[in-house]
Amino acid sequence: MTLDGPPLIEARGVSKYFGKVIAIEEISLQVRPGEVVCLLGDNGAGKSTLIKILSGVFPADSGSVLLEGEAVHFASPRDAIARGIATVYQDLAMIPLMSISRNFFLGSEPRRQIGPISIIDFAYADRITRQKLDQMGIHLRDTTQSVGTLSGGERQSVAIARAEYFGAKVLILDEPTSALGVKEAAVVLRHIVQARARGLGVILITHNVNHAYPVGDRFLILDRGRSVGTFSKAELRPDQLLSLMGGGEELSRLSHELESYARAVDAGAVPIEPPVQVGEDVAGGA
């Protein structure tokens, strides 16, 4: 992990308001090469607003965004992509009805000239798509099959592979694991670790501590638009992270209630684990 030099991307005291509503206020975030920063918070905490500012969807109302130490204003998502900020959205990573290789190169099609006409170089597109997916452990018979035939985890993996292929330095992942089963989520989390090992900066948005803790180096916790704080992994245990997010007390109270309920009805027949231990399972598996 390299921690010297300016951060790849930095938000300095950014705020965004939608009318009277404070979406986020005075939020700061730094991501260095080879670092995974997890953005945590409940629904409505402002996670999406922050990443939309970082990925060029809309500008901040105040504060600044710095790219490798220099202030930038992204004109559009396309502008952000061109400067190496790639964002993979949960539901919008891929287009299900299109083939895998068409998806992979959508918007950046490799071209081949036939006289004055420029056409897609499908041989190249198929070869690269297959190669990149092989590297991720997804072995395809046919890159022309539709993305709809891939599982949710595979779609996220393809989107990550695509972002890296097109030169992303910062990878912003919006809830990449929230719709996935445990095994699938573990596969995506492994890709995040691999991306970190290759020197990318990763911003992982999630509300699942069990997914964030195993891969994260630092954790920025948001609560109703404001920063609760940034913590390094050494400073926190998963259960502390959960209680900082504001869900810890509710969940532990709930699990106590359920435990005593289960004991009262039929002791041992309905085992209920405290939620924190589930996270350690994933950590061990990934």
Partner 1 sequence: MSKAQAPAPERVRRVSPLRGLITRPEFGAIVGTTAVFLIFSAIAGGSGFLSVLGAANFLEVAAQVGIIGSAVSLLMIAGEFDLSVGSMVGAAGMIVALGIAQFGLPPVAAVALAFVFALFVGWLNGTVVVRTGLPSFIVTLGSLFILRGATIGLTRFVTGRTQVGGLDEFTRSDPFSQLFTAFVGIPQGTATAQFKVAIVWWIGLALLATFILLRTPFGNWIFGAGGSAVAARNVGVPVARVKVLLFMATAASAALLACIQVLSVGSGDVLRGGQKEFEAIITAVIGGTILTGGYGSAIGTTLGALTLGMTQMGIIFAGIPADWYQFVLGGLLLAAVFVNDWVRRRASETRR
Binding site for partner 1 (CB under 8 A): 77-78, 81, 87, 89, 92-98, 102, 105-109, 111, 117-120, 135-142, 145-146, 148-151, 162, 183, 186-187, 190, 194, 285
| Greatest C-alpha distance within the chain | 80
Residue whose CB is less far from partner 1, 95 or 272? 95
Given the complex with partner 1, which of 164 and 239 has the nearer CB atom? 164
CB 212 within 8 A of CB 183: no
Question: Which is closer to partner 1, CB of 151 or CB of 178?
Answer: 151
| Residue 151 C-beta: closest distance to partner 1, Å | 6
Shortest Cβ distance from residue 248 to partner 1 (Å)? 29
Q: How far apart are CB 270 and partner 1 at their closest, in Å?
A: 27
- Nearer Cβ to partner 1 (103/227): 103
Shortest distance (Å) from residue 137 CB to partner 1: 5
**CA 38, CA 186: separation in Å to the nearest integer?**
16
Q: Are 32 and 57 in contact (CB under 8 A)?
A: no
Nearest to 93 by CA among 160, 178, 8: 160
In Å, how far from its chain's centre is CA 48? 11
Decide whether 155 or 233 has the Cβ nearer to partner 1. Answer: 155
As measured in angstroms, the least distance from the Cβ of 171 to partner 1 is: 14
Instruction: Rank residues 140 and 173 by Cβ distance to partner 1 and give the closer one.
Output: 140
Residue 78 or 256 having the CB closest to partner 1: 78
